[in-house]
């Protein structure tokens, strides 16, 4: 279950350390199923943007699994 932004730790809120990511989906034009899944790192404001063919939990999970597979070493930190 997702946690509310209001519940995040103070060091995340203050952008003290790298590695805290926030995700969101930006829906495509009305009548389309596509969306952009965005991940933003809180300190550096680094962005990862992935196009989803459908805005579903399954598609988001596939996108995260793909990132983990591609960047395995960074995910293990």
Task: Indicate whether 2 pLDDT > 80.
Answer: no
Q: Which pLDDT score is estimated for 61?
A: 95
Q: What's the rounded Cα separation, in Å, for the pair 30 and 48? A: 23
Q: Which pLDDT score is estimated for 72?
A: 83
Task: Indicate whether 75 pLDDT > 70.
Answer: no
Long-range pairs for 49-54: beta carbons < 8 A, 24 or more residues apart: 52/25
Task: Indicate whether 1 pLDDT > 90.
Answer: no
pLDDT in tens, 7-58: 878 888 888 888 888 999 999 888 899 999 999 999 999 999 999 999 999 9
Buried residues in 30-57 as b, exposed as e (16+ CB within 10 A): eeeeebebebeebeeeeeeebebeebee
């Amino acid at each position: 279950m997702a946690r509310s932004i209001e519940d995040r730790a103070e060091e995340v809120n203050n952008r003290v350390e790298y590695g805290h990511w926030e995700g969101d989906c930006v829906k495509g034009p009305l009548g389309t199923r596509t969306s952009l899944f965005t991940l933003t790192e809180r300190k550096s404001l680094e962005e990862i943007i992935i196009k989803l063919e459908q805005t579903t939990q399954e598609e988001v999970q596939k996108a995260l699994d793909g990132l983990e597979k591609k960047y395995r070493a960074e995910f293990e930190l």
